[in-house]
């Protein structure tokens, strides 16, 4: 299922959002979108306390707005183009780090942390294996319970069992000229 195609008609209407959400890094995109709000808003927002206006405006307000818009766009990209999730995750992390000096300590650290978590989740997310792949994998791993080949797999190969033990090679001679002077691995100090 790609981002352009909706959930299949066989899926009940109440489960379509769940199916759509499970086929992409949904929470990573949500955290990245949430990161964009404090990073973009705080340099332009102000708080009124009676007759006193407290403004957090900085000279880098345009930079904070650009970072906020880019983080929002990356969050939507994670949702609608999950193929580029690793790029979007790394870009969100970099923009979160850049927001520290540009946007009031990364949106008072809240936006910075949301950007780091969302970017990390996006870079680490992997799509679930298809039903055909999981069905084949479960069938291939069943041992055959007969005689001396009791631990052989149905594929007829022992490579799976020996995969954890590397093959040892005999030394062919000195690799370089300096290994001859090593005196069997023992060094002398004088």
- DSSP element (H, E) containing 49: strand 46-49
Q: pTM for the whole thing?
A: 0.60
Cα-to-chain-centroid distance, residue 65: 25
- DSSP element (H, E) containing 76: helix 61-80
- pLDDT tens across 2-22, in order? 555 555 566 677 788 888 888
- Tokens 């910075």 found at: 112
Percent of the chain whose pLDDT exceeds 70? 61
- pLDDT tens across 78-103, in order? 999 989 999 999 999 999 999 888 88
Question: Residue 114: which of 65, 56, 66, 72 has the closest Cα?
Answer: 72
> Alpha-carbon distance 106 to 64, whole Å?
9
- pLDDT tens across 35-56, in order? 999 888 877 777 788 888 777 6
DSSP string, 1-67: --SSSPPPTTS-GGGHHHHHHHTTTHHHHHHHHHHHHHHHHTTT-EEEETTEEEE---TTHHHHHHH
């Amino acid at each position: 299922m790609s981002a352009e195609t909706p959930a299949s008609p066989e899926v009940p209407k109440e489960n379509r959002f769940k199916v759509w959400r499970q086929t992409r890094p949904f929470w990573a995109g949500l955290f990245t979108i949430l990161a964009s709000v404090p990073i973009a808003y705080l340099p332009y927002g102000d708080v009124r306390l009676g007759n006193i206006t407290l403004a957090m405006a900085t000279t880098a307000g345009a930079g904070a707005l650009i970072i906020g818009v880019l983080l929002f766009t990356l969050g939507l990209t994670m949702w609608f183009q999950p193929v580029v999730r690793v790029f979007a995750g790394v870009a969100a992390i970099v923009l979160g780090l850049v927001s520290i000096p540009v946007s009031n300590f990364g949106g008072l650290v809240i936006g910075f942390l949301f950007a780091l978590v969302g970017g990390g989740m996006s870079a680490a997310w992997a799509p679930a294996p298809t039903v055909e792949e999981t069905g084949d994998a479960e069938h291939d791993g069943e041992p055959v319970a007969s005689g001396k080949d009791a631990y052989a797999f149905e594929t007829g190969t022992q490579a799976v069992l020996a995969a954890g033990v590397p093959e040892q090679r005999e030394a062919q001679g000195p690799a370089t000229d300096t290994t001859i002077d090593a005196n069997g691995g023992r060094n002398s100090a004088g």
